[in-house]
Structure 1
Amino acid sequence: MSLVRSDAPLALAQLSDPALRVRAVEAASTYDAEGLVQLTLAYLLAASRKGARGSPKTRAAYALAVRDFVAWARENGVSLLRPGRRDGGRYVAHLQLRPSRGRGRSGSLAAATVAQYVAGVRALYRALRWAGATEAQPFEEAHVPPDPTPGIVKNPPYGEEIDAVLGHCDPRLAALLLLCAHGGLRVGEALGVRAEDFQGGLLTVRGKGGKVRRVPLSRRARAALAGLSPAGPDGALFEWTYAQAAYRLRRAFREAGCGHAWRGFHAARKHSGTRLYRATQDFTRVSLFLGHSSVDTTRRYVAVEEGDVAAEVEGF
C-alpha cells in the first residue's frame, strides 16, 4: 500500500500519531518516493506555524531532492530508517561527482545545487522523526562544501535592463515587474497581490511563514497598480502561475534586446535591495523592506560596489 497516493498532505498531517507512524514506516521500508514526498510536505505544512512551510518553489525543490535520494538509497542498499553513520556523507560525495548535464562550468553539480538537495533530504529526515518512524540523522555531520562564488556574483541584480524591458510589457506585466524591482517583492508575493492590498500608497504583503508587512511603493509602481482592474473574482490582480509569468517576462526581455540578461524574478528583487542600500547605506532598513528575518540574508541580496569605502579610507 502506498503512503498517500490519494491523500493530500493536509489529510496526512491530521492522522493520529500511530497511523502516521505506520504510514511513514511503510513508505520508508518500501522506498515509496512519492509517499515520502507527501510525508515531507505534510511535515512542512504542520510546521508552518513556525514559518517552516517554505515557498512553492522550495517545496518543489525538496520534492525533487527526496525522489533523488530515495532512488539513490534503493540502488545502493541504504536503509532509509536505519542508515549507516557514513551514508549521509556518501550521498553528498555522490552529488558532488554527478555530471551537471552541461549546465555547470566544471561539468559537475554546482555547490549551491548540492546544498539544495541536501536541504531537501534533511527535511525528509525531520519529517520521519516527526512521524515517529526513526531517530536517524544521517546528515547531521555530513559536510556540504560552501559555494565559493557568492550568489550576488552568480546572479547579480538587474540594472538598466528594468527600464528597457518595461517598454515591452503590457500594463499588467509591467506592474508585476515593478512590484519585484521597485517593491522588492518575491514573485510569489507579487502574484498574490489583490486590489484591496493597495491603499494609501502602501502595499500589504503576505510573505513567508504568514508574515505580513507594509511596503511603500515607488511613484511608477503606484501608478501601475492604480491602472489595473482585478483579473479574477477574488480581487487578484494576476491570474498567472509562476511559469506563465516567467514566460511573459522572458519574452519581453528578448523583445527589448536583453534576452540573455533574463535571470529570473529574484534578480529584480535584488535590484530593489541594491538600490535601496545605496540610498540608505543601512542593511537593517533594507532587511525590513524585503521582509527578511535576518540581516545576514539581506547582505546576499545587495551588490556592493568595489571601492565603496574609498572615500572613507582616503584620510587614514
Structure 2
Amino acid sequence: MQTDLDAYLEHLRSARQLSAHSLDGYRRDLHKLLGYCAQQHIASWNELHGRHLRQLIAELHRKGRSSRSLARLLSSVRGFYRYLNQEGHCQHDPATGLSAPKGERRLPRLLDTDRAMQLLDGGVEDDFIAHRDQAMLELFYSSGLRLSELVGLNLDQLDLAAGLVRVLGKGNKVRELPVGRKAREALQTWLPLRALANPADGAVFIGQQGRRLGARAVQLRVRQAGVRELGQHLHPHMLRHSFASHLLESSQDLRSVQELLGHADIGTTQIYTHLDFQHLAKVYDQAHPRAKRKQDTDT
C-alpha cells in the first residue's frame, strides 16, 4: 500500500507538476488514510470501502477537524483512487457519494448603522490625505465596492452628475452602481485636490506622488480610520458587508442587493438574511414581553 502511495505522490510531482505545498497536503491526507488502514487491518486499497471512510471522517470530525479540512481529505482520496483505477490496481472509489460534514458558516463582521455614521461623520481635516481617505470610505459604504474595484477605479468610470460608478468586478463583469449624496460630495471635494498632485494616470485614488494607491495602502488607511474614529479594527470588506446588510434590512430586496454586490450566486447574498435575522432576534429578545428575562426573582 505504501508503494502505491509513493508512486502516486511521484506521479503528482513529475506528471502533474504540483507545487511542494500542494504535494505536502496530499501526502498528509493520504498518510492519515494509510494509518487508519493499518489500525483497521486493511491490507490493500481494494479492501477500503465507503463505510470505512465514513468512520474515518466521523472520527476526525469528533476530534475537531474542520469541514474544509475533511473535504480536502475526501478530495485527496478521490484523486488517489482515480490513479489506482487508471493503473489497474482498483475498480472502485470508496469516496463516491461521500461529503464532509457541513461546518458552521461564519457570519461576516460589520458595523451597525450608528457606528457607520460615527465613522463617516467625524471631522475631516482640510488636507490632501484626509479628503482622499474620506472619499474612499464614503464610496466603500455608499456603493459596496470590493477593495480591488476601488483600487482599480479610473476617472472615466465615475459619473457624479448622474450619481453612478461603473466597476469591473470578478469574472471581468461590469456593473453600474449608484453613488450616494455624501459620497458624491466627498468625491467632489477630493478630485480638485487629486488634480494638483500631477496624477500619473487616470486613477481616482492616488498618493501624494501622483501614483495609484495599492490595495495595502488602502487597507492601512481604512484600518487607521477604524482605530481613530471607532477604536476598533476595520477593513474594506467590513464596509461592503455593512452596505449590504443595511440595504437589505431597509429594502428586503435580496435580488437587488445581489445585483449591487455582483454576486453570481444568490446563495452568497443570502448570508445577509442571516445577519438581518440576528438583528431582528436581538430586538425581539429585548422588546417582547414573553422573551424578556426577569430582572428580579419572585419570592
Separation in 2, partners of 1:224, 1:95: 53
Map 1:173-252 to 2 at 5 A: 173-199=133-159, 200-226=162-188, 227-228=190-191, 229=194, 233-238=200-205, 239-252=212-225
Q: Structure 2 length as normaliser, TM-score? A: 0.59
- 1:162 correspondence with 2:144: no
Corresponding residue number in structure 2 for 1:15: none
Q: Percent identity?
A: 24
Of 89, 97, 103 in structure 2, the residue corresponding to residue 147 of structure 1 is 103
Separation in 2, partners of 1:173, 1:92: 48
- 1:269 correspondence with 2:240: yes
Q: Structure 1 length as normaliser, TM-score? A: 0.56
Aligned length: 234
Asked if structure 2 preserves the Cα contact closer than 8 Å seen for 1:193 and 1:205, the reply is yes
- CA shift at 1:236, angstroms? 1.8
Deviates more, 1:265-274 or 1:220-229: 220-229
Render the CA deviation track for 1:36-59: whole Å, top value 9, x for unaligned.
25xxxxxxxxxxxxxxxxxxxxxx
Map 1:1-316 to 2 at 5 A: 29=11, 31=13, 35-36=17-18, 66=22, 69-73=25-29, 111=67, 114=69, 118=72, 141-148=97-104, 150-152=105-107, 155-159=108-112, 160-166=114-120, 167=122, 170-199=130-159, 200-226=162-188, 227-228=190-191, 229=194, 233-238=200-205, 239-259=212-232, 261-262=233-234, 264-302=235-273, 303-304=275-276, 305-306=279-280
**Residue 249 of structure 2: SS of its match in structure 1?**
helix
TM-aligned CA distance change 1:75 to 1:157, over 3 Å: same
Return the index of the structure with the highest Cα Rg: 2
Separation in 2, partners of 1:147, 1:164: 35
**Residue 306 of structure 1: SS of its match in structure 2?**
helix
**Residue 171 of structure 2: SS of its match in structure 1?**
helix
Asked if structure 2 preserves the Cα contact closer than 8 Å seen for 1:189 and 1:205, the reply is yes
Asked if structure 2 preserves the Cα contact closer than 8 Å seen for 1:27 and 1:36, the reply is no
Asked if structure 2 preserves the Cα contact closer than 8 Å seen for 1:27 and 1:35, the reply is no
Unaligned segments of structure 1, at least 5 residues: 1-24, 38-62, 99-107, 130-135, 311-316
- CA shift at 1:109, angstroms? 6.0
Asked if structure 1 preserves the Cα contact closer than 8 Å seen for 2:9 and 2:23, the reply is no
Q: What value does the CA root-mean-square deviation take over the aligned residues?
A: 4.6
**Residue 288 of structure 1: SS of its match in structure 2?**
helix
TM-aligned CA distance change 1:77 to 1:158, over 3 Å: same
Asked if structure 2 preserves the Cα contact closer than 8 Å seen for 1:193 and 1:237, the reply is yes
- CA shift at 1:30, angstroms? 5.3
- CA shift at 1:285, angstroms? 1.4
Separation in 2, partners of 1:190, 1:91: 45
